[in-house]
Amino acid sequence: MAMLSSPAIATTGDIEPEVCVKIRVCQNYDFRGPCYSECQKPSATHKIRNGYRDNAGSFAVDSKGFLCTVGTPNSATCSGKEYPGFKRLPKHCLDNISSYYCTPS
């Protein structure tokens, strides 16, 4: 029987699953397409994909248990929303979003 020269010790970072928040940005109201979706790490700012920043009608939060705030290029924000998200972005955010930030709710 072969013995390992040093024991392998797992840290919590090795065994904790990666958590992500799934969102969708759609060009029309009511989460209708064309849309793109992504799953990103919570508690960090993420940029909206090119082609959707100036052409967004709705922002879906597809992961329950998270509150997402959408930001505009002029630093205004669309108030935070939980699942299912913004079926219709507020007027000052309509076709004018640049980033989003999600936190556990």
Domain extent, residue 87, equals 19-104
Q: Are 88 and 30 in contact (CB under 8 A)?
A: yes
The number of beta carbons lying within 10 Å of the beta carbon of residue 95 is: 13
Q: Element (H or E) spanning 13, and its range?
A: helix 12-15
Is 3 inside any structural domain? no
For residue 70, what is the domain's CATH number?
A: 2.60.20.10
Identify the residue whose tokens are 């090119």. Answer: 50
Q: What whole-number distance in Å separates Cα of residue 21 and Cα of residue 62?
A: 7
Is 2 inside any structural domain? no
Question: Could you list the mean pLDDT of each consecutive 10-residue stretch along the chain, which spans 105 residues?
Answer: 53 63 97 96 96 95 96 87 95 93 95
Is 78 inside any structural domain? yes
pLDDT given for residue 7 in this prediction: 53
pLDDT given for residue 79 in this prediction: 84
Is 11 inside any structural domain? no
Is 10 inside any structural domain? no
Q: Whole-model pTM above 0.75?
A: yes
Is 8 inside any structural domain? no
pLDDT given for residue 44 in this prediction: 96
Q: Considering its fold, how many domains does the chain have in total?
A: 1
Q: What is the 3-class SS of 38-67, one letter each residue?
A: EEECCCCEEECCCCCCCCCCEEEECCCCEE
pLDDT given for residue 4 in this prediction: 52
